[in-house]
Amino acid sequence: MNAEQVLEAALDLDPDERKRLVEQLMESLVEEKRFASEEIERAWIGEIQRRSAEIEAGTVELVNWDDARSRIAARRAQR
């Protein structure tokens, strides 16, 4: 299974399961010391928690990967 397949499967999970998955993935990176500092680690964890809370509250529009990729490509083409 490659990263894109994992992402597709993860996006099929309910919001609570996705949040738990993100937290576990972030923790695995912390354990591997991939972050430059604890400050950066805390900032990313805070950002993930903030975004997860917005998703759970229904205050943000969720966009599937194909649409997001198309939007990114369109913005890049405008530069």
End-to-end alpha carbon distance in the chain: 34
Write the pLDDT tens digit of every residue in 8-45: 999 999 999 999 998 898 888 776 665 567 788 889 89
Looking up tokens 């969720």 gives 62
The reported pLDDT for the residue numbered 32 is 63
Work out the percent of the chain whose per-residue pLDDT is above 70: 91
Q: Are 45 and 26 contacting, i.e. CB atoms less than 8 angstroms apart? A: yes
Distances (CA, A) of 72 to 11, 48, 66: 19, 21, 10
The reported pLDDT for the residue numbered 40 is: 83
Higher pLDDT, 73 or 41: 73
